[in-house]
Amino acid sequence: MGRKNICNFGEHYMLDCYGGNYERLNDKDLIMLALVELPHQLGMTRLSDPYVLEAQDNDIKDPGGWSGFVVIAESHISIHTFPARKFVSIDVYTCKNGLNREFIKKYFTGVFGIKKIEENFVIRGTEYPVENIC
């Protein structure tokens, strides 16, 4: 039989974004700012400063871009931009429930000038011990 309650450990929201603005997707400082602003706006606690690195072209499918990551008390947020492809891949993973997905989608649409978004949402830890989470 299935689980009797709807408790879970957390939520993982993944965005694959197309048609973004080249200059914004190629702006290390903007990526850094997003990794500072978004946790605050979602009521999350940063455990570190964001870390943003330039990834070079690998002469295969990756034309290079930026990868940014911030550790939050609730888990992490990552951003991987591919300016030449006008593409960005974003993960917001949190042990909190009730993630405001519409706010996150609008936030990144504004930050990077996104035209189209594919969304994936996964409920994580559905068999995590229910003590103290329900």
Residue 118 has pLDDT above 50, yes or no: yes
| pTM for this predicted structure | 0.88
Q: Could you tell me what percent of the chain has a pLDDT over 70?
A: 93
Answer yes or no: are the C-beta atoms of 86 and 22 closer than 8 Å: yes
Answer yes or no: are the C-beta atoms of 73 and 99 closer than 8 Å: no
Q: How confident is the model at residue 134 (pLDDT cuts 50, 70, 90)?
A: low
The span from the CA of 115 to the CA of 85, in Å, is: 13
Determine which of 16-20, 66-70, 122-126 has the lowest per-residue pLDDT on average. 122-126
Q: What would you measure as the largest C-alpha separation in the chain, in angstroms?
A: 52
Q: How confident is the model at residue 3 (pLDDT cuts 50, 70, 90)?
A: very low
Class of domain 20-63+76-124: alpha beta
Residue 64's pLDDT is 86
* Phi and psi at residue 8, to the nearest 5°: -155, 165
State the chain's mean pLDDT as an integer: 90
62-89 confidence digits (pLDDT tens): 788 999 999 999 899 999 999 999 999 9
Residue 2's pLDDT is 44
Q: Which residues are catalytic?
A: 75, 80, 95
Residue 4's pLDDT is 46
Residues 21, 25, 28, 31, Cα dihedral to 10°: 100
Q: How confident is the model at residue 132 (pLDDT cuts 50, 70, 90)?
A: low
Residue 62's pLDDT is 73
3-state SS assignment for residue 21: coil
